[in-house]
Structure 1
């Protein structure tokens, strides 16, 4: 995300993604290790929630940078909205 110039912001997003990767690894270990179904389901729900929260944050960043930022032309706003609409259509499937 080229518009995320703040190093601190990037670092927080990367840390969040790494936590999600850890959750996915825990889910893999649960399945491989024949963990109880309820434990695996809880892990899957946690991953889904974490990815959903990440998606919310990325969507907000995109909106602020490519649709609502001052100084954008109408064409830039339209392009930003179109990009987001495409992603949301895939996400909502």
Structure 2
């Protein structure tokens, strides 16, 4: 995953923001916040997770599917890995 290493700091910042959002959900539940507030927090967290997923999917597709130096076998493996991840996500 060396191609992700180039953006490691940015990805880690995103993950830490998401962790903060999850903690805000937890605090809201513990504090018995209004359900509307909790719904907004969950929706924002889901959006942040989707953004992270999109970024990693794009990096994977560019490096393991569309890279011109790949063999057909490597490209097929990249497609298979991507499809498996998408299947898991859609469950």
Range of TM-score over shorter length: over 0.9
**Alpha-carbon distance between aligned partners in 1 of 2:68 and 2:23, rounded to the nearest angstrom:** 41
The aligned counterpart of 1:43 is 41
Write the mapping of 1:37-76 to structure 2, written as runs, cut at 5 A: 37-76=35-74
TM-align CA RMSD: 0.9
**Alpha-carbon distance between aligned partners in 1 of 2:48 and 2:5, rounded to the nearest angstrom:** 23
Q: Size of the alignment, in residue pairs?
A: 91
Deviation at 1:92, TM superposition (A): 1.0
Unaligned runs of 5+ in 1: none
Deviation at 1:70, TM superposition (A): 1.6
The aligned counterpart of 1:2 is 2
Deviation at 1:48, TM superposition (A): 0.5
Unaligned runs of 5+ in 2: none
Q: Find 1:79's aligned residue among 71, 77, 80.
A: 77
Give every structure 1 segment of 4 or more consecutive aligned residues whose post-TM-superposition deviation is greater than 6 Å.
none
Look up the SS of the partner of 1:12 in the other structure: helix
